[in-house]
Chain A
């Protein structure tokens, strides 16, 4: 069973706070350390388990700037035969743009039986890209998958559902989103494989050559840059905890974000 996994590097949640800088409504990511998103780690591990059980091949795909090369190299170190970065609007792009680009990028990597994503991105937590890819490709969508076992050429999938777990055999091509569980903790790659993966460049394709309308894609992405929509950059409040609380309440009141306030 051939698998294409969608990966995303996100700003390291454990990174130094001073590395996060907003300037004129834009996040300056030049000093931000990036790491593979937690649910993408789960997606990658489940993908590896499926190809190991079925004897298929793995391809990995990410979208954004060079910061996205690292997770692709991790995937390569763990056995991905092909990796591709869609070079274009990065994590700020709206989900439909992202889904269209990822789906088009997946076509470049060749047909897969399964398309696997993390449950949600670890930075914006939108949780929709996998479903949108499924919609664009006309495939069923199975969300919150946490286990997969291969048997007799078939894959049994376990999903978290309301009130419990649903398990079934997958007999069709599909898009899966993967959640965190002991079964989806990403293995540590071998250092030698990591070094070999680092030495090889990542294949890159530009959005313009995928969708043929770069300007529209970039405009869409720009429109959805969240700090711009807020109208100004974030503000950090420090000092005495009681003063911090008062300042936060005042800020939320000013934005009309508290019940009974604003317009």
Chain B
């Protein structure tokens, strides 16, 4: 077992760090403060990431991408989140779904959709599970669980109808993976289907863009389908097997979510470390007060342990023989709990200065709150893991 990054992983991390330092950090706080959620999103950052090849980090080399594996991608997500967690979400979604289409898509689907994604410097990807009344149900399904969004069989394809909400990149994506109920007599576990739906499909429209507490550089929006025709060749996986697509082809989703909030927490820790080294009270830098130093050591311990867990989950995605279903649920739970603890403690260590908006700690706090529920509410994911124990 090796705990050192490979030269390639180190090179990717360094490049993302460069991108974050030069392009993201100078603008993130300003974007976050915009009133309208649409104005918090930056196409300029997406285009700059495209120029550096980062948007297509996980796209196979045959399509012009860098072909990053799950572990390298998790490292990139973590590094991006140190600059801004919302932007990390924009790319984590896109990176994850490119991997999914490559793994689950047919040769024809890959040939039709991936070159378009590669060529457009603004092409982002989105996945639509969540509906106003269907959320934790698709993590821990039960017999009564159904997507309200339906896809009815018609000649040559399916007619999609319904509304998805809270969708990351919902108003920005050029290609969606959509989950819909195709057999209303069965639960979503056995009666749902996944579809590839390009943005320019007739009948697809965008509803409201949600005004969020934090993670504002990522837009979440309603995606509405009205008599939206999807040809048979854009069924992802088999009809009725949507849940199996979800279970099989998203091994690192939870790890990416964990890496996202982990990167944010590491940024908060680094700020706390720098602040306690310079802030003098009691006649010395406050890091020389034992209680402060031990607080920092404890934060470091939480972060190191979480990082190992998150990267282990991503690594197991790359090594299916080592996969444990728990890794598809628990790393994000730990990372979000640790993230919340680290950020609140970092805020506390800053004293009154940390409470002032200019310190930037309040943004980290608002951002950290997102992952207590995002990518699966923590209690739901604990239940999902608990099912493995019974």
Contact = CB atoms under 8 A, between A and B. Distances in A.
Contacts of B7: 198
Interface residues of B, number: 23
Nearest to A199: B8
Given A188-B22, A189-B52, A199-B8, A194 B15 contact: yes
Contacts of A197: 11
Contacts of A241: 280, 284
Interface stretch (B33-41, B59-67, B132-140, B260-268): B59-67
Q: Which of A73, A192, A197 has the most CB of B within 10 A?
A: A192
Given A188-B22, A240-B283, A194 B12 contact: yes
Given A198-B7, A198-B8, A199-B8, A191 B280 contact: no
B284 A191 contact: no
A193 interface: yes
Interface string B102-116: 000000000000000
A59 B152 CA distance: 61
Contact of A188 (B11, B15, B65): B15
Contacts of B51: 188, 190
Given A73-B11, A198-B8, A199-B8, A191 B283 contact: no
B14 to A, nearest CB: 8
Interface in B1-34: 7-8, 11-12, 15, 18-19, 22-23
B12 A191 contact: yes
A191 B18 contact: no
A188 B284 contact: no
B19 A188 contact: yes
B54 interface: yes
B237 interface: no
A174 to B, nearest CB: 30
B141 interface: no
A239 interface: yes
B92 to A, nearest CB: 16
Given A195-B8, A195-B11, A199-B8, A190 B53 contact: yes
A191 B15 contact: yes
Nearest to A243: B284
B172 to A, nearest CB: 21
B183 to A, nearest CB: 42
A239 B285 CA distance: 8
Interface string A173-215: 0000000000000001111111101110000000000000000
B140 to A, nearest CB: 37
Interface string A121-140: 00000000000000000000
Nearest to B19: A188
Given A188-B18, A188-B19, A192-B64, A198 B11 contact: yes
Size bracket, chain A contacts? 10 to 19
Interface string B267-293: 000000000000010011000100000
A195 B18 CA distance: 15
Contacts of B52: 188-191
A76 to B, nearest CB: 11
Interface string B49-78: 001111001000100111100000000000
A241 B64 CA distance: 55
A223 B160 CA distance: 78
Given A188-B19, A188-B52, A189-B52, A195 B280 contact: no
Contacts of B67: 195
A197 B14 CA distance: 14
B22 A191 contact: no
Nearest to B285: A241
B351 to A, nearest CB: 19
A193 B54 CA distance: 11
A240 B15 CA distance: 38
A246 B288 CA distance: 19
Contacts of A192: 53, 61, 64-66
Given A240-B283, A240-B284, A241-B280, A189 B64 contact: no
Nearest to B52: A188
A191 B53 CA distance: 5
A193 B283 contact: no
Nearest to B6: A198
Contacts of A199: 8
Contacts of B280: 241
A193 B11 CA distance: 11
A194 B11 contact: yes
Contact of B284 (A189, A198, A239): A239
B273 to A, nearest CB: 10
B368 to A, nearest CB: 24
Contacts of A193: 53
Contacts of A240: 283-284
Contacts of A190: 51-53
Contacts of B61: 192
A83 B228 CA distance: 55
A195 B12 contact: yes
Q: Which of B12, B15, B57, B288 has the most CB of A within 10 A?
A: B15
Given A195-B11, A199-B8, 17 more contacts: A188-B19, A188-B51, A189-B15, A189-B52, A190-B51, A190-B52, A191-B52, A191-B66, A192-B53, A192-B64, A195-B12, A195-B66, A195-B67, A197-B11, A198-B7, A239-B284, A241-B280
8 contacts: A73-B11, A188-B18, A189-B15, A190-B53, A191-B66, A192-B61, A195-B66, A241-B284
Interface of A: 73, 188-195, 197-199, 239-241
Give me the 3 closest cross-chain CB pairs, A-B, nearest first. A191-B53, A190-B53, A192-B66
